[in-house]
Amino acid sequence: MNDAAQAKANRNVIFLVIVASLGYFVDIYDLLIFSIVRVKSLTDIGIVDKADITSKGTFIINVQMFGLLLGGILWGIIGDKLGRIKVLFGSIILYSAANFINSYVYDVNTYALVRFFAGVGLAGELGAGITLVSETMSKERRGYGTMIVAVVGLFGAVMANIVAKDFGWRPAYRVGGGLGALLLLLRVGTFESGMYKNAENTEVSRGNFLSLFTNGKRLLKYLYCILIGAPLWYVVGVLVTQSQEFGVALKAKEVLNAGDGILYTYIGISVGDLVAGILAQVTKSRKLTMLLFLVVSVGCVVYYLTSTGMDSSKFIKICFLMGCSVGYWATFVTIASEQFGTNLRATVTTTVPNFVRGALIPINGAFAFFKGHYGMVSAGYIMMILLTVISLFSLSQLKETFGKDLNYMEETL
């Protein structure tokens, strides 16, 4: 490759990383906006009882997560069968439209229905972006690319909290839809993965989701990829999202604001992702990086659950620390992407993070069960320890993939 061609290729890679980063920024904004405005939005549509706010809010977030589960499968298959670019366009159109509509809901059932379609749309963004970056960058440097995507993207949570606090929950949903529309225009200049183009010209089966379940070894590897990320979403989806309720249980000096908690948790996750990405590159081991973060996250959650009588200032500091400790999102998704061949890579990379998000449904159920038997704080301990043990075991069963050549196909027969 001559110098001019190499310079053009480098510019294309930089543009792709920028577009994928901004896409994940909008994805996180729209994904977390409900958790941020949960109490205010439900109160405004007539849900005033605290128990109802908790139960109705859990119902809506579960419906959204179910949409993510289905969307992960849908967009993953499309990504491997029709191309990664088609996923980026289709998913953003769906979730942008859903967020515009979300600003006009006036009852719980409509709210939940719209969040379902938003969830379906949001499911395609991260997986397609990470797949494109992983397949386009060199095997030695792709970890930096996915790290940048995660660090930039996670600041979408910061913007969501600022917009919701300054302008209200209905305008916040409209802003989310508008950001998606702007991103759609930027996406026009993106290009397809070379590895996918090569796979497209072969007879190999692509995007065969069921093939993940027809081979025992492949199925276990797929499940392990999902389970290593479960503690992260528990921290965000339960410990921080239900911080108002945890504040009561911990006798906090003032009402703990979930929006502020999510804001500082995601700032922490961005910092953690940066550290995790660099650590993985230095140690040349994604597994070691994951192990360190999983262990540290337990200590941070214990600190949160023992902070009786905390005030808002201490709460946001703890949220930041917990965010840093679970800042392995990019590393976790990259591990999943590197475990499988080109003909299944988009399917896996798109479904795995969404199955982790969707795991919040059984996690919420299990947490509610333990809470009913042992109380809010004890349930918090039990779930974190249980999920971390499962995650550590799953991590031990996966092979190290740092520097792995991704230009190969999976045998799906």
In a domain, 197, yes or no: no
Residue 338 is inside which H or E element, if any? helix 329-338
Q: Give the range of the structural domain holding residue 253, as residue numbers without chain letter.
A: 13-188+212-397
409: left (phi over 0), alpha (psi -120 to 50) or beta: beta
In a domain, 340, yes or no: yes
In a domain, 404, yes or no: no
Report the sign of the C-alpha dihedral through residues 93, 95, 98, 102, in that order. Answer: negative
* pLDDT at residue 189, rounded to an integer: 62
In a domain, 6, yes or no: no
* pLDDT at residue 197, rounded to an integer: 61
Prediction pTM value: 0.81
Stronger pLDDT, 81 or 252, i.e. the higher one: 252
Residue type, 328: Y
Q: What is the CATH number of the domain that holds 116?
A: 1.20.1250.20
User: For the residues 218-242, what does the mean pLDDT come to?
Assistant: 93
325 in Cβ contact with 296 (< 8 Å): yes
Report the sign of the C-alpha dihedral through residues 220, 225, 231, 233, in that order. Answer: negative
User: For the residues 144-156, what does the mean pLDDT come to?
Assistant: 83
Domain count, the chain: 1
* pLDDT at residue 402, rounded to an integer: 84
* pLDDT tens, residue by residue, 309-328: 999 999 999 999 999 999 99
- How far is Cα 117 from Cα 291, in angstroms, rounded to an integer? 35
Q: Which residue bears the tokens 């009852």?
A: 107
Half-sphere CA count of 335, side-chain side, radius 13 A? 34
In a domain, 412, yes or no: no
Q: Is the pLDDT of residue 140 over 80?
A: no
Q: Is the pLDDT of residue 205 over 80?
A: no
In a domain, 87, yes or no: yes
**Cα angle: 279, vertex 282, 283; to 5 degrees:** 80
User: For the residues 325-337, what does the mean pLDDT come to?
Assistant: 89
Which phi and psi angles does 410 have, rounded to 5°?
A: -90, 140
* pLDDT at residue 198, rounded to an integer: 63
User: For the residues 254-264, what does the mean pLDDT come to?
Assistant: 88
In a domain, 196, yes or no: no
* pLDDT tens, residue by residue, 294-312: 999 999 999 999 999 999 9
* pLDDT at residue 172, rounded to an integer: 95
- How far is Cα 378 from Cα 370, in angstroms, rounded to an integer? 8
Separation of CA 346 from chain center: 15
Q: Is the pLDDT of residue 90 over 90?
A: no
User: For the residues 327-340, what does the mean pLDDT come to?
Assistant: 88
400 in Cβ contact with 291 (< 8 Å): no
Stronger pLDDT, 1 or 327, i.e. the higher one: 327
Residue 123: pLDDT band (50, 70, 90) is confident
Range of weakest confidence among 136-145, 284-293, 397-406: 136-145
Average pLDDT, the chain: 87
Stronger pLDDT, 74 or 200, i.e. the higher one: 74
* pLDDT at residue 194, rounded to an integer: 58
Percent of the chain with pLDDT over 90: 44
